Amino acid sequence: MAKISKLKNKVSGDKSAWFLVIPVLIIAGLAAISFGGGDAFHMPTNAGTVSARPVELSFSDVLRRANDIKTMDIRGNDATGTLKDGTKYTATIAYDPELLSKIAANGTSITIDSTRPFMERMTFWLPILLWVFFIWILLRGPRGVGRSIAAQNPTKITTGNSKKTTFKDVAGIDAEKQELMEIVDFLKNKDKFRAVGARVPRGVLLSGEPGTGKTLLARAIAGEANVPFFAASGSDFSGIIVGLGVAKIKEMFEMAKRNAPCILFIDEIDAIGQKRSTQIHNDQDREQTLNQLLIEMDGFANDTGIIVLGATNRVDMLDPALLRPGRFDRQVYIELPDANGRNEILKLYSNRVKLSPDVDLMDVARGTTGFSGADLENLLNEAALHAVRMGHTNVTREDMDEAIDKIMMGPRKVRKIRDTDKKLTAYHEAGHAFVSQHYADITDPIHKATIIPRGRALGMVQHLPIDDKVSMTIAEVRAQLSIALAGRAAEEIFFGADKITTGAESDIAGATRLARYSITTAGLSPKVGTVAVNQSTAWSGRSALENASEKTAELVDAEIRDWMDAAHRDAKNILSHNRATVDRLANELLRRETLTGDEIREIIANKKSVKKITAKKPATKKKTTVAKK
């Protein structure tokens, strides 16, 4: 049976090949006719000697010396040949059969070449060929063309003989793996579900941020179940030929049915599953492809043994008919890993590199909040590359820190910085560091401070979260605002209000976003109240004060200004009462360029004359100040 199947596939492939072979054969045949010899009129005569120099004869000379001409070769209006005395000649004549007969009667051997030049013949045949080819395509139909081209681009398939990916190769998303264990159990023990009357989900949609492991998880399901795994991308079903997407959908599901039970994975499914439009000028071919996918996923055959896995990071773009039960019955959102998840992912990928004993993966996980699994794998690779550049035999903590800084801020800049700019940057970062340490009881601890330029930043203060936070108190929000504006406050205190720079641009932008979110969305402002002033748009963005009146918009603007001004005053108050300690911290930054969190805490603690201000007092003061305004 296997041989018969292979033979059928071969015959089908041969038929598809004729789609291109037939036009080529037609063109080759017509070209051969074009290059063939033409009609010739030959009258033999006696041979003679040939002269080396041809003479030019006019048409009247040819008529007058007809008895002297021995041979004549005619091509169009040009004639060449030899005279009876052996002299070669060339002439321009008018083609006249009666005249040529009179010349031949004198014993002249005449040969007429009636073949036409190649380009002349192509200008005659090319339009005919194009029309024949066009009519042949119309008779064959676009869907047949799509099927023949689709057969040349088969869906990728991974069978049980290939290298397997299992759940052991997936880390940091334990809850999502548990959700998908039912799929694996169904593929292994189908009768157990049928006995109870349970229907396994026909489709599972994996969504989440890029790099969270959607494709890896799909391969792991196939590896655990030990079934064939068919993979395709949403862009594979689009093409310039109408009907190509529909043909490929049919081909893919037919192949999956022959290998059922199996898993059919469509990555970036939003490329073909976008919402259908009611507009006149819409993409009819894409919508036909989507319709075919909907039919295949929930057709008349309810028990095909095919489980469709889809992956996308744009669920909001998908058509509702694709998301309904019976097609994609289950949606699994893969979140960015938390600290423990990042630690597990780092442990998994660290088996590929040689780590130094001084590398604490949990510390790395704590300092990489917001990193996906792909980001963490790239982090370890960047650390390994830096270790090779530095000549290390294994990846050290220094290599890891360098990789984190490079990914978060960009590569280190090797450029000449003026002493005044470097000094101002040191005091700017010292202001951030001191206020961060001042609010250490309610904010994340400092990991390090540096004035080494990276990307567009001249320096930074990096924090190391103890754990992942899912929410913030109003005290934490106000402390974060004070920390963000502490750099600008330090510039004003130590250099004067007329020497402030644009270096606080990103700090001010970030603080403004936090204040606006807290007031308009989180309901943390008593003046605005517990109302959501902003609305989410269709594109998951936020339109500024879309559902607010002009009076409410003015109130929101005034409240944001009050929060920012209060945070700025709080930062200046803290730094003004501790000028000597901040000055010492800035000088140490100038001398060493980078200070760790422990070094910063030691510098601050060694100054016993520091006037401490409790965290509660400024927070209360800020609230009171905002309330007065």
**Residue percentage of the chain with pLDDT more than 70:** 76
The whole-chain average pLDDT of the chain stands at 77
Closest CA to 568 of 499, 485, 474, 507: 485
Closest CA to 433 of 405, 460, 465, 402: 460
pTM attached to this predicted model: 0.64
Intervals of CATH 3.30.720.210 along the chain? 55-114
pLDDT over 90 at 121, yes or no: no
Q: How far is it, in rounded angstroms, from Cα 246 to Cα 293? A: 8
CATH of 156-334, picked from 3.90.320.10, 3.40.190.10, 2.40.50.140, 3.40.50.300, is: 3.40.50.300
The segment with the largest mean pLDDT, out of 146-155, 493-502, 568-577, is 568-577
**Pair of tokens at residue 494:** 């130590």
- Res. 147 pLDDT band, cuts 50 70 90: very low
pLDDT digits (tens, 9 = 90+) for 370-392: 888 899 999 999 999 999 999 99
Task: Centre a 10 Å sphere on the Cβ of residue 304 and count the other Cβ atoms it contains.
Answer: 18
Handedness of CA 28, 34, 40, 46 (dihedral sign): negative
**End-to-end CA gap in the chain:** 86
Q: How far is it, in rounded angstroms, from Cα 129 to Cα 268? A: 41
pLDDT digits (tens, 9 = 90+) for 127-136: 888 888 777 7
- Res. 538 pLDDT band, cuts 50 70 90: very low
pLDDT of residue 565: 95
Q: What is the DSSP string of 198-262?
A: ----SEEEEEESTTSSHHHHHHHHHHHHT--EEEEEGGGG--SSTTHHHHHHHHHHHHHHHT-SE
Intervals of CATH 3.40.50.300 along the chain? 156-334
Q: 3-state class of 509 per DSSP?
A: helix
What's the half-sphere exposure (Cβ side, CA atoms, 13 Å) at 462?
26
pLDDT over 90 at 16, yes or no: no
Q: What one-letter code names the amino acid at 274?
A: Q
**Pair of tokens at residue 186:** 């169904």
Q: How far is it, in rounded angstroms, from Cα 354 to Cα 388? A: 11
pLDDT of residue 180: 84
pLDDT of residue 218: 85
Task: Centre a 10 Å sphere on the Cβ of residue 503 and count the other Cβ atoms it contains.
Answer: 18
Domain 419-628 has CATH 1.20.58.760: yes
Omega within 30 of 0 (cis) for the link into 261: yes
The edge-to-edge listing of strands for the beta sheet with 460-463 is: 460-463, 446-450, 594-596
pLDDT of residue 37: 45
C-alpha separations of 381 from 231, 349, 376, 403, 487 in Å:
27, 9, 9, 9, 34
CATH architecture of the region 55-114 = 2-Layer Sandwich (3.30)
Intervals of CATH 1.10.8.60 along the chain? 339-408
- Res. 437 pLDDT band, cuts 50 70 90: very high
Cβ pair 354, 388 in contact under 8 A = no
Mean pLDDT of 598-610: 74
pLDDT of residue 53: 64
The domain defined by 339-408 folds into: Helicase, Ruva Protein; domain 3 (1.10.8)
Catalytic residue of the set 429, 491, 492, 588: 429
pLDDT over 80 at 303, yes or no: no
Mean pLDDT of 419-440: 91
Intervals of CATH 1.20.58.760 along the chain? 419-628
pLDDT over 90 at 171, yes or no: no
Q: 429 catalytic, yes or no?
A: yes
What's the half-sphere exposure (Cβ side, CA atoms, 13 Å) at 258?
9
pLDDT of residue 23: 57
pLDDT digits (tens, 9 = 90+) for 567-576: 999 999 999 9
